Every structure is written in structure tokens, then in C-alpha cells.
Homo-oligomer: A and B are copies of this chain.
């Protein structure tokens, strides 16, 4: 049964290219379409260069009454952003809202299904 108070926040790097940020926003909308009631809200936030930043993205969900937030980094590599920067941003908000359950999940590139997805693209050749 879906947790009506759990939200999904997709965290992307953020780009100077408006079209790249727009791709992320469209993906958040698509997540909502595909995931349906799996989460009560679907949102995105950006580490750099684009609003909302991560604290603002989290706080917007908390203000809506969400009690639990799962955060998925939309990154392929476990670089500094994934290993240090995103956890630090989450910790900052967690300290401010200790009653909210903020959970950082593995980044996209760590997902087992990545290989099948690439093979699907390759099959379209």
C-alpha cells in the first residue's frame, strides 16, 4: 500500500541549458504518471545552477505536509556530488526538521537495470 505521506524527490545536477533542466522537470512529471499513488508527491530539485535547490525542494514538500521523503540522485557516476555534496545538503535540512524521515537512495548509475535499459536502446538500431 502506498504511503500517502511519502514523497519522491529526484535530484539532478542542474545545467546552464534551460532545455536540460526542462528534461528533468518532464521526467518528474513522467514519474508521477508512471508511479501514480506509489508516492503522494513527485518533485525535482537541482544541486546547482537551477531552482529549486535541494533544501528548497525538500522544504516545499515538508510544507505540503509530507512526513517522509526518498531522494534519488539523477546521476550516473558516484562522484563528489553523489558521495559528498548531496548527502551534505540533505543533512542540513534533516537537522532543521528532525521529525521528517529523509532517506537518500542509490544514484541512478548504481541501478542493476541500467544494463537492460542500454541494451533496449541498442536493440532499436
Interface residues in chain A, defined as those with a beta carbon under 8 Å from any beta carbon in chain B: 6, 8, 10, 12, 15, 17, 19-20, 23-24, 27, 30-31, 33-35, 38-39, 70, 72, 74-80, 103, 105-106, 108-109, 111, 113-125
Residue of B nearest to A36 (CB): B119
Say yes or no: B15 contacts A122, CB within 8 Å. Answer: no
A122 and B105 form a contact (CB under 8 A) = yes
Cβ-defined contact, A113 with B120, below 8 A: yes
CB distance from A52 to the nearest CB of B (A): 18
Per the bound structure, the CA–CA distance linking A60 and B72 in Å amounts to: 36
The residues of B that contact A20 with a CB separation of less than 8 Å are 77-79
| B17 x A79 contact (CB < 8 A) | yes
Q: Which of B23, B30, B39, B125 contacts A70 (CB 8 A)?
A: B125
Question: A76 — which chain B residues lie within 8 A by C-beta?
Answer: 12, 74-76, 108
Determine which of B8, B12, B123, B125 lies in contact with A103 in the assembled complex, contact meaning CB atoms within 8 Å.
Answer: B125
A32 CB, nearest partner CB in chain B, Å: 9
Residues of B within 8 A of A30 (CB): 115
Q: Do B105 and A125 touch across chains, with their CB atoms under 8 A apart?
A: yes
Known: A15-B77, A114-B27. Is A121-B103 also a contact (CB below 8 A)? no
